[in-house]
Chains A and B, each alone.
Chain A
Amino acid sequence: MTTTSVEAAGRASGGGAAGRAPAAPGGRARRRFPGRPQQWSAIGFSAPLLVYLAAFYAYPLWRNIELSLHDYTVRAFVQGDPEFVGFANHTEVFTSGTFGTALVNTALFTFVSIAFQYAIGLALAVFFRDNFRLSGVLRALFLVPWLLPLIVSSSTWAWMLNSENGIVNSVVEAFGGPQINWLTSPETALISVIIANIWLGIPFNLVILYSGLQQIPADLYEAASLDGATAWQRFRHITLPLLRPVTAITLLLGFIYTLKVVDVVWIMTTGGPGDASLILAVWSYREAFGTGQPEFSPAAAIGNLLIVIALVFGFVHLRTQRYRERS
């Protein structure tokens, strides 16, 4: 199962670093070959990775923290003499009016997205569980949204939701509805990006939950059927409880991925109109790269907040994994 979901989780929200995390590997096999010389070759073989992590993870992250603690302007960037301001950037960010909006939007975006992705993904996984004709092919086709570059799917959604020429409004108007300014009105912008994001996340949920369903022994269902359990009862009393560990992982990873989504929102609405669809990650991107006036320091401060949230959930993830390993 572990490996299966590694593959599956390959790319959830695509734009972000995807991929995921099997339980710490090789735990059981460890300590079979003790001995000094081998430690040296182990260090040798992992040296490229260690150097890589130091140069391309630790150092950029360190620079990011440095950005957040100084007052970096474009000029200071070039001259390299920014003023140290401590936590002033953080204070500025957390007390700004945008912070509350972004926080609420992020919460809505994440939880609504995940709830629908999970529910739809689970329904589809249960549906595909019975191997009907062509089920393999159809299931593979469901992966398409997941494999497409995010810019492709986001711009397609943007055009489909276009006010005058979009297919969605064309259908709405055919049924006598009004023209809806999906992406340009503050009431619907957040809903629009959430819809697109749900669509993007369904394949990920489907794949993981489907592989989770495969772990549930078929005879349990047969026994329940013999005892006269209805389909709903089987789902309620067999599928859901036995799927709980997989559900936990799916929701957790979904949360982590959704938290760092930038592409979809940026391409569809750039967080607007105003701040109507602004989420934390997009806010950070907008401050640093989205306007003509780059504000790296506040952007980095928002980034720090995102890292802290990610770290908290990283530990939760670890605990869940440990718990799973024990049980």
Chain B
Amino acid sequence: MTARPWWKTALGALLTAFMLFPVYWMVNVSLTRTADLRGTPRWFPTAPTFEGYTAALGQQLPALGTSLVIGFGCVALTVVIAAPAGYALAILNLRGGRTLSFLLLVAQMIPAVVMAMGFYAVYVRLGLLNTVWGLIVADSTIAVPFGVLLYSTFMAGIPRELVQAARIDGAGTWRIFGSIVLPVSRNSTVTVSLFAFLWAWSDFIFASTLNRAGEFIPITLGIYQYIGNNTTQWNAIMATAVVASLPAAILLVVAQRYVAAGVTAGAVKD
């Protein structure tokens, strides 16, 4: 750690470049002219064109909007359910909490395709197929168990003295939750929201099963139908893929530190 050899940086950069090649390739293809897509691929977008992006945005803008709505809906639902539950588990010592935690753990292991079939069977009867609401609920099942476990792990690390003192001052369970526990757990909220959004945004299985014929389809399904419809216009498909990757890219740049802060804050207790 004293000597910081440059060759390691060079090797690291090389490995990263190799790893990220598919991402580069996606961007490269998205900038390629339709005429150049056939035959030997071009390594660099020497004559970049935005025809892919024009086509993509022209057709996929509503899908992007739908995905945003689903993403935010999923975040709201997840936080509203997970934060109080984490509080009940970690601070109010809910009886049977260990069992509940175990159930949540197992819940995360259930394959999405199984959940999708169950939801399909339920939604057929309730008429919730092809609705944005139905998809928000289904997508949230990916994030809720994770959210509860994350919150309760973090909240279990909140100093007991803080809660005790508030209790002595006469604060009720609600006050303690709203004015102490929730604000202190802000980083957990950011982390949970972040992943809930990302998973809902990226979801393909629920979208392709529960919202196949919907009026409002999310962007993942937009790309999928794109692939099915016009296999010649891969520049437009890749352009849509680039646009669909933006939230991930933005979060990596903006919130990476935030997530890291949440991680270390929670890790201190160990």
A residues near B (Cβ < 8 Å) are 1-4, 6-8, 10-11, 14-22, 24-27, 29-33, 38-39, 41-46, 48-49, 52-53, 56-57, 59-64, 66-67, 77-78, 80, 124, 127-128, 130-135, 138, 140-145, 147-153, 155-160, 164-167, 170, 199, 202, 256, 259-260, 262-263, 267, 281, 284-285, 288-289, 296, 299-300, 303-304, 306-307, 310-311, 313-314, 317-318
The smallest beta-carbon distance between B228 and chain A, in angstroms, is 11
Picked from A3, A41, A127, A303, the residue with its CB within 8 Å of the CB of B114 is: A303
Picked from A18, A42, A67, A135, the residue with its CB within 8 Å of the CB of B88 is: A42
Asked whether, in the complex, the Cβ of B110 is within 8 Å of the Cβ of A288, the reply is no
Given contacts A11-B195, A26-B97, A45-B84, contact A152 B121 (CB under 8 A): no
Q: Is the interface of A mostly helix, strand, loop or mixed?
A: helix
The distance in angstroms between the C-alpha atoms of A15 and B141, with both chains bound, is 12
Interface string of B215-246 (1 = CB under 8 A from A): 00001100110010000001001100100110
Asked whether, in the complex, the Cβ of B120 is within 8 Å of the Cβ of A288, the reply is yes
Given contacts A3-B270, A147-B251, contact A288 B117 (CB under 8 A): yes
Asked whether, in the complex, the Cβ of A145 is within 8 Å of the Cβ of B98, the reply is no
Asked whether, in the complex, the Cβ of A134 is within 8 Å of the Cβ of B9, the reply is yes
Asked whether, in the complex, the Cβ of B108 is within 8 Å of the Cβ of A21, the reply is yes
Asked whether, in the complex, the Cβ of B4 is within 8 Å of the Cβ of A132, the reply is yes
CB closest chain-A residue, reference B167: A33
The smallest beta-carbon distance between B130 and chain A, in angstroms, is 14
CB closest chain-A residue, reference B7: A132
B residues near A (Cβ < 8 Å) are 1, 4-6, 8-9, 11-13, 15-16, 19-20, 22-23, 25-26, 29, 37-41, 80-82, 84-85, 87-95, 97-98, 100-122, 124-125, 137-138, 140-150, 152-156, 160, 173, 177, 191, 195, 198-199, 201-205, 208-209, 212, 219-220, 223-224, 227, 234, 237-238, 241, 244-245, 248-249, 251-252, 256, 259, 262-263, 266-267, 269-270
Asked whether, in the complex, the Cβ of A145 is within 8 Å of the Cβ of B267, the reply is no
Asked whether, in the complex, the Cβ of B100 is within 8 Å of the Cβ of A149, the reply is no
- Between A and B, 22 residue pairs with Cβ closer than 8 Å are A6-B149, A7-B191, A8-B263, A18-B108, A19-B143, A19-B150, A25-B155, A29-B93, A30-B93, A32-B93, A38-B92, A48-B81, A53-B103, A53-B107, A63-B121, A132-B9, A144-B248, A164-B38, A260-B112, A296-B117, A314-B102, A314-B106
Asked whether, in the complex, the Cβ of A52 is within 8 Å of the Cβ of B262, the reply is no
Residues in B with CB closer than 8 Å to A61 are 110, 114-115, 118
The smallest beta-carbon distance between B199 and chain A, in angstroms, is 7
Residues in B with CB closer than 8 Å to A64 are 114, 117-118, 121
Asked whether, in the complex, the Cβ of A135 is within 8 Å of the Cβ of B111, the reply is no
Given contacts A25-B89, A63-B122, contact A2 B142 (CB under 8 A): no
Asked whether, in the complex, the Cβ of A314 is within 8 Å of the Cβ of B105, the reply is yes
The distance in angstroms between the C-alpha atoms of A89 and B137, with both chains bound, is 29
The smallest beta-carbon distance between A208 and chain B, in angstroms, is 12
Residues in A with CB closer than 8 Å to B124 are 77-78
